[in-house]
Structure 1
Amino acid sequence: MRKITNEELHRPSVEEFAAMPKLPLVVVLDNVRSAQNVGSFFRTGDAFAVERIALCGITAVPPCRELHKTALGAEQSVAWTHHASTVECIDGLRAAGYRVLAVEQVEGAAMLDALAVDPQARYALVFGNEVEGVSQEAVDRCDGAVEIPQLGTKHSLNVSVSGGVVLWEFFCRIRSKA
């Protein structure tokens, strides 16, 4: 077994990536405090070719040194928008026909492994602040919620880890049925 070189991976250029079909999914970051967590979302968003990332409230926006540290340039390939408030962002996404889901532990949340995903639908997934989670005001605007099953003693995962788990699941379900 031999490691594959970066050249052998044949990754698209930033320009080629911009023209590629995207996963019909918007990542919404609700007041995420850590620029490094935001950078991780950019890198994961690039890996799964998400449509864009909506950066809301205090969430760091490019250019930002700490964000770049973990994004490793993905902030240049993944489209993004900034919104003063998460509620305003969610309202706009819903009006545009997206099914908006909070990734949060709330009453009535569907467990990720049991969630029915329509591969023809467009989704927006709202990820919350590292301490407070998705704000109640934002949860109130969502069409539903999804929770990651957890078996350990901790009550949550790091927000960027949650992003990787949930985006992988949506990628698999939408790609395999589209």
Structure 2
Amino acid sequence: MSTQLSHKEHGTPVQRFPIILLADNLMGDANIGSLFRLADAFNIEKIVFCGSPVNLNSNRLKRTARATVDNVSNEFWEDPEEALANYIELGYTPIALEITEDSKPLDKVHFKNEKKIVLVVGNERHGIAPALLEKIPLKVHITMFGRNSSMNVSQAAGIAFYEISKTLPSLAEK
């Protein structure tokens, strides 16, 4: 019989990934809480919330995030374009997670040449704002096989973190 391991028993080595998640105008406390859990699970650098302020005291957010709100660095920028420009200036490669006419399937893109990534996700209803999307040359999407053309933002971010972390140089070298 298999026994479930505790957090301390699982033995996975701690590794920080050079990824910043930039969230453009997210509204749902459950989605935001899920992003904290994912950011902690993949040990990314931070989450940057833009547009609508995030209520870190929301009970729904706290229940979903569990204790990860305390572990994950985060900040707020009112203007997402300004935030993106800041991280580009700091050497981050911007990548938009959005289905567009020129987006590439995420599982076909390899990030071996990227040192630092800022992954941009959009609002639950409207996606990434057009003016922000226009500033990001590389757009990726998750190949889907059903009839719907989109998925929940936190689920999509989790898939993106997994696919990106598999091909980043820091993981590939191990």
1:177 aligned onto 2:139: no
Q: How many residues align?
A: 172
Return the alpha-carbon distance in structure 2 between the equivalents of residues 5 and 114 of structure 1.
Answer: 33
After superposition, give the CA deviation of every residue in 1:5-47 in whole Å (9 maximum; x if it has no partner).
42652679xxxxxxx6520000111001101101101001100
The TM-score with structure 1 as length reference comes to 0.88
Q: Which residue of 1 aligns with 2:160?
A: 166
Whose helix proportion is higher, 1 or 2? 1
For 1:5 and 1:21, how far apart are their aligned partners in 2? 19
**TM-score normalised by length of structure 2:** 0.90
AA in 1 matched with 2:160: V
Instruction: Give me the whole-angstrom Cα distance separating, in 1, the residues matched to 2:70 and 2:11.
Output: 15
Which amino acid is 2:171 matched to? S
Aligned to 2:20: 26
Task: Report the equivalent of 2:42.
Answer: 48
Q: Percent identity?
A: 26
- Seen in structure 2, the aligned counterparts of structure 1 residues 98 and 84 have a Cα distance that, compared at 3 Å, is same
Change (3 A) 1:61 1:100: farther
Query: 58-67 or 120-129, which moves further after superposition?
Result: 58-67
CA offsets per residue over residues 51-83 of structure 1, 9 Å max, x none?
100011115242332211110010100111111
Match 1:73 to one of 63, 67, 73: 67
Deviations 1:118-159 (A, max 9, x none): 255100100100100011111012131111111110010010
Alignment of 1:149-164 (within 5 A): 149-164=143-158
RMSD: 2.1
Gaps of 5+ in 1: 13-19
Q: Aligned equivalents of 1:83 and 1:93: distance in 2?
A: 12
2:6 is aligned to: 6
> What's the counterpart of residue 116 of structure 2?
122
User: Comparing 31-40 with 134-143, which one deviates more in the overlay?
Assistant: 134-143
Counterpart Cα distance in 1 of 2:120 and 2:145: 23
Aligned counterpart, 2:97: 103
Partners of 2:46 and 2:7 lie apart in 1 by 26
